[in-house]
Amino acid sequence: MKQKKLLYAGKAKTVYRTDTKGKLIVEFRDDITAFDGGKKDVLKNKGSYNAEVSAFFFGYLAENGVKTHFVKMLDPRHMVVHELSMIPLEVIVRNIAAGSIVRNYPFKEGSKLNPPVIVIDYKDDSRHDPMLNDDLIVALGLCTPAELKKIKKIALEVNRLLVKLLAAQGITLVDFKIEFGRKGKTICLGDEISMDSMRLWDKKTGESLDKDVYRFNKGDVMATYNTVAARIVHAKKRP
């Protein structure tokens, strides 16, 4: 498969057309950003760690009946995906209160959210990704009520599967963000699921194993990504 013209360059990934209809190549770059792009760096090999973990999660989710855009890896940082028509929603599932939900609401950091809480933000950097509600999502024409119901159902199923997989590796899934798109009429999981888009805490030590290490200068970001990628991907047994 040949990489063709650039379609879209985001903050950490670049998407290219290919010589195959309906297939795109996503390049996971080494750029890392936080706080709406206010903090920026390039960390060697970050892209390949995130690509590896994303590919592993997409494979595991597909085995468990979740439809994703993942096709295959071309090399450690280039992923072939099905082209989707992306829906500009950031679907966040939270099992434990951390991050913006603690800043914006009277939740105590670390308190359990049972059942998990779904928060949906509008993917629009110029507006700082404002939080939406069901009525706003439909009024803005972002998706239909039936699609929204499906998106929430898939998000909770992804959460259930990832919580189980990560727990087997001694990792607590605090929260994560996923994005969806349409392939024809089918809602598919797109984007990535990686250390950049999840909050992971070590079950024993409570240490952060994700982008919070970068956001809050908690330690060596790449050493953390390397260790956590190995812990996730080289898990001997999937649950």
Tell me the window of 16-24, 37-45, 51-59, 174-182 that interacts with ligand CDP (CB under 6 A).
174-182
Q: Does 28 bind ligand CDP (CB under 6 A)?
A: no
As measured in angstroms, the least distance from the Cβ of 225 to ligand CDP is 13
Closest CB to ligand CDP among residues 83, 179: 179
Amino acid at site 114:
N
CA distance 23 to 144: 26
Q: Does 199 bind ligand CDP (CB under 6 A)?
A: yes
Q: Does 201 bind ligand CDP (CB under 6 A)?
A: no
Angle among Cα 239, 64, 174 to the nearest 5 degrees reads 65
Amino acid at site 56:
F
CA distance 8 to 88: 14
CA distance 48 to 132: 32
As measured in angstroms, the least distance from the Cβ of 157 to ligand CDP is 18
Closest CB to ligand CDP among residues 125, 220: 125
Closest CB to ligand CDP among residues 74, 142: 142
- For residue 167, report the phi and psi dihedrals to the nearest 5 degrees: -60, -35
Q: Does 46 bind ligand CDP (CB under 6 A)?
A: no
As measured in angstroms, the least distance from the Cβ of 22 to ligand CDP is 26
Q: Are 78 and 27 in contact (CB under 8 A)?
A: yes
Q: Does 198 bind ligand CDP (CB under 6 A)?
A: yes
In the list 56, 211, 224, 225, the residue contacting ligand CDP (rule: CB under 6 A) is 211
Residue closest to 191 by CA, chosen among 15, 34, 2: 15
Dihedral (Cα; 167, 171, 173, 177), 10-degree rounding:
-120
Closest CB to ligand CDP among residues 48, 197: 197
Q: Enumerate residues 6+ apart whose C-beta is below 8 A from 74.
A: 1, 25, 80
Q: Does 100 bind ligand CDP (CB under 6 A)?
A: yes
Q: At what angle do helices 145-167 and 46-63 cross, to 10 degrees?
A: 110
Q: Does 197 bind ligand CDP (CB under 6 A)?
A: yes
In the list 27, 83, 175, 179, the residue contacting ligand CDP (rule: CB under 6 A) is 175
Name the residues that contact ligand CDP, by CB under 6 A: 90, 92, 99-101, 129, 175-177, 197-199, 211
